[in-house]
Amino acid sequence: MIEIQYIFELFGTVVFAISGALAADERQKHDWFGITCFAFITAIGGGTLRDLFLNSYPLVWIADMNVIYAVFAGIFLAGIFYRYFSKLRTTLMLFDTLGIALFTIVGLEKAQSLGANDFISVMMGMFTAVMGGVLRDILINKTPTIFVEEIYATACIAGGIIYLVLDSFGVDRNINFIVSGAMIAIIRIITVKFNLSLPKFYK
Amino acid sequence: MIEIQYIFELFGTVVFAISGALAADERQKHDWFGITCFAFITAIGGGTLRDLFLNSYPLVWIADMNVIYAVFAGIFLAGIFYRYFSKLRTTLMLFDTLGIALFTIVGLEKAQSLGANDFISVMMGMFTAVMGGVLRDILINKTPTIFVEEIYATACIAGGIIYLVLDSFGVDRNINFIVSGAMIAIIRIITVKFNLSLPKFYK
Amino acid sequence: MIEIQYIFELFGTVVFAISGALAADERQKHDWFGITCFAFITAIGGGTLRDLFLNSYPLVWIADMNVIYAVFAGIFLAGIFYRYFSKLRTTLMLFDTLGIALFTIVGLEKAQSLGANDFISVMMGMFTAVMGGVLRDILINKTPTIFVEEIYATACIAGGIIYLVLDSFGVDRNINFIVSGAMIAIIRIITVKFNLSLPKFYK
């Protein structure tokens, strides 16, 4: 099962790299170097920030070259299937949703294993999932989408809380991983489909 | 006295959280998640950067849930008293000034206790006070105010230097805390009131 | 030779500080505090990020006041020779090129000495050279130049690879430092002179 999770993590990395490469180029024509940067930032930015905050070294992508290969695989796929992906925004959204679902639980579990309390663990799970996209958006100089649209990060927080609740009831960890990950994906998909959003702070 | 300082720190955190929540919403209608993010970044961003630079772990907000509660208290107050606060910009400015005064000295002392020299300690004091606001401004995609207006960071640096000078004269630490913190607040208030600014770099 | 390299490092720091001070002011009239910030970020941002990623403490500028003095020297020179520098954009570009050439190899060697593999070392060399400018561009709220123009970062990566190849052939380290550094400078200068760029990602 550890191996399956590891494969899921690398798969999530590929998906986020694709998403980073495509998102960057919506705004401007970038060269190969720029696209590579954006793919890396989107895929490994969240985990890096989490590990800096939790003092967890070496960073995942410095210790494990497979993460690097996964990012390059994503860039390669984005380059090959560019026209295909950009027509299929729904497909891309589904991949991205899978990515945040996997990364939220992976990040939460890592924070817990480093001794973080429940609140911080949920926060770190959400960070792992969304901060790569936030850093990418800062670099391409737009207000990060998570601040202006959709229940993106909130789905991750909800999934993290579900994970902790099920865990406290003694639910098997592997089942819990799948259930709470699936909840994140379902919340995300429903809110996008029905165009739901959180209430505005001020009327 | 340590306890009084701790209460001041938490109070500074509340004030910065209010300031972050309100500043974010001047520009755009954000949902609750966005406001929460901005409040957190403003309140804990400066201290986090300082601790990353000085390799001081665990980070304050990861180790101490009271910091988290203080941020939520600030968000809650911003939500309740929104209309009131936004009409009373002067009140808000005074709270923010109290925040930077407290955080500058707190940050400076922390850097010193970690072995930093005088220059770095003053720099870290200023960082603790202003970097949360800078990070928030980057996220809402505007040029950080400290780079275009007012003697904001300079007041913090001046206060830090005053603290070190008084300390070298053997002034009691508690008195020094109050005096140099008050100097920061006074400089800030005078410069805002009389609309003073540093000379431009090039004419 | 170590001393010569150290002098080169400080010289690179001065050059980047000049470049930071001038680049910031192209966009807006900044006060002395803002200029000082931009000079610091440009000069020490890349090395700081590298050291955070590699968990290398204390940070260079916290441990060695000469780095701080070098930045202030750069600010001072930018202030004095402002008119002169801004007319001589070619001169400034050459200084900046020398800076990235030196910092790439310095950063690569530091990463290697901390046990990073070849890929990560080249990446960290490039980071050391370009990330200060990237952070500065984020702060002045423009899309970092490296993402939209010129073979800037690519020259650093190429130079890093050349260094590793020559190193694997047993070339003397000092000669290697000069040769691969010179290659970075030559690639940069040729691409600017002939206005070359990487192919766009999508046609």
Q: Which residues pair with A200 in a beta bridge?
A: B31
Any idea which of B43-47, B126-130, B146-150, C68-72 has the lowest mean pLDDT? B146-150
- At residue C23, the pLDDT reads 75
- At residue A80, the pLDDT reads 84
Cβ-based contacts under 8 A for chains B and C:
63
Please answer yes or no on whether C154 and A57 come within 8 Å at the CB atom: no
Within a 10 A sphere around the Cβ of A60, how many other Cβ atoms? 18
| Cβ-Cβ contacts under 8 Å, C52 against chain A | 52
The torsion angles phi and psi of A132, rounded to 5 degrees, stand at -60, -45
| Cβ-Cβ contacts under 8 Å, A66 against chain C | none
- At residue C22, the pLDDT reads 80
**DSSP per residue, C3-59:** HHHHHHHHHHHHHHHHHHHHHHHHHS--BHHHHHHHHHHHHHHHHHHHHHHHT--S-
CB distance from B32 to chain A under 8 Å? yes
The whole-angstrom separation of Cα C186 and Cα B115 is 43
The sign of the torsion formed by the CA atoms of C32, C33, C35, C40 equals: positive
Please answer yes or no on whether B197 and C28 come within 8 Å at the CB atom: no
Q: Band of the pLDDT at A9, cuts 50, 70, 90?
A: confident
Please answer yes or no on whether B30 and A148 come within 8 Å at the CB atom: yes
The 10s digit of each residue's pLDDT in B91-107 is: 667 778 888 999 999 99
CA B11 to chain centre: 11
Minimal CA separation from A143 to chain B, in Å: 6
Please answer yes or no on whether B199 and C28 come within 8 Å at the CB atom: no
Mutation site, C51, C139, C147, C197, interface A, largest A CB count within 10 A: C147
Q: Band of the pLDDT at B157, cuts 50, 70, 90?
A: very high
pLDDT at A203 over 50: no
Average pLDDT, chain B: 85
| Cβ-Cβ contacts under 8 Å, A201 against chain B | 21, 25, 29-32, 34-35, 79
The residues, any chain, with a CB within 8 Å of residue B24's CB and separated by 6 or more, are A147, B30, B34, B35, B38, B39, B136, B140
Residue A103 · residue A60 · CB < 8 Å: no
Task: Name residues of chain C where pLDDT drops below 50.
Answer: 203
The whole-angstrom separation of Cα A71 and Cα A69 is 5
- At residue A32, the pLDDT reads 79
Residue C43 · residue C71 · CB < 8 Å: yes
pLDDT at A31 over 80: no
Structure tokens at B106: 């707190």
- At residue A150, the pLDDT reads 58
The whole-angstrom separation of Cα A22 and Cα A38 is 9
Q: Which of B31, B38, B141 sits opposite A200 (nearest CB)?
A: B31
Residue B157's nearest CA partner among B203, B198, B201, B199 is B198
Please answer yes or no on whether C53 and A59 come within 8 Å at the CB atom: yes
pLDDT at B27 over 60: no
Q: Report if residue B199 sits inside a domain.
A: no
Q: Report if residue C39 sits inside a domain.
A: yes
Nearest CA in chain C to B134: C139
Residue A102, Ramachandran bin (φ over 0: left; ψ between -120 and 50: alpha; else beta): alpha
CB distance from B144 to chain A under 8 Å? no
CB distance from C22 to chain B under 8 Å? no
The torsion angles phi and psi of C73, rounded to 5 degrees, stand at -60, -40
The residues, any chain, with a CB within 8 Å of residue A132's CB and separated by 6 or more, are A16, A20, A41, A42, A43, A44, A45, A46, A47
Task: Give mean pLDDT, residues A62-89.
Answer: 84
- At residue A25, the pLDDT reads 60
Q: How many domains does chain A have?
A: 1
Please answer yes or no on whether C120 and A62 come within 8 Å at the CB atom: yes
The whole-angstrom separation of Cα C198 and Cα C150 is 7
- At residue B172, the pLDDT reads 92
Residue C31 · residue B201 · CB < 8 Å: yes
Domain hosting A85: range is: 2-147
Q: Report if residue C200 sits inside a domain.
A: no
CB distance from A25 to chain C under 8 Å? yes
Question: Which CA distances in Å does A177 have to A67, A79, A141, A189, C62?
Answer: 21, 32, 35, 18, 43
Q: Report if residue C202 sits inside a domain.
A: no
| Cβ-Cβ contacts under 8 Å, A138 against chain B | 138-139
- At residue C118, the pLDDT reads 95
Any idea which of A94-98, B51-55, B67-71, C153-157 has the lowest mean pLDDT? A94-98
Minimal CA separation from C54 to chain A, in Å: 7
Please answer yes or no on whether B201 and C32 come within 8 Å at the CB atom: yes
Residue B95 · residue B4 · CB < 8 Å: no
- At residue B136, the pLDDT reads 85
SS3 category, B89:
helix
Regarding an ipTM greater than 0.90, the answer is no
The 10s digit of each residue's pLDDT in A156-173 is: 999 999 999 999 999 999
Give the side-chain half-sphere CA count within 13 A for C113. Answer: 10
Give the ranges where A55-151 is alpha helix by DSSP (H): 60-63, 65-80, 82-87, 89-113, 118-139, 145-148
- At residue A200, the pLDDT reads 60
Task: Give mean pLDDT, residues B68-92.
Answer: 80
Q: Which residue has the higher pLDDT, C146 or B29?
A: C146
Q: Report if residue A199 sits inside a domain.
A: no
SS3 category, C200:
strand
Mutation site, B31, B48, B76, interface A, largest A CB count within 10 A: B31
pLDDT at B166 over 70: yes
pLDDT at A123 over 60: yes
Nearest CA in chain B to A199: B31
Q: Report if residue B201 sits inside a domain.
A: no
Q: Report if residue C198 sits inside a domain.
A: no
- At residue A86, the pLDDT reads 59
- At residue C90, the pLDDT reads 72
Cβ-based contacts under 8 A for chains A and B:
63
Q: Report if residue C144 sits inside a domain.
A: yes
- At residue A140, the pLDDT reads 76
pLDDT at A8 over 90: no
| Cβ-Cβ contacts under 8 Å, A79 against chain C | 201
Q: Which DSSP state fits B31?
A: B
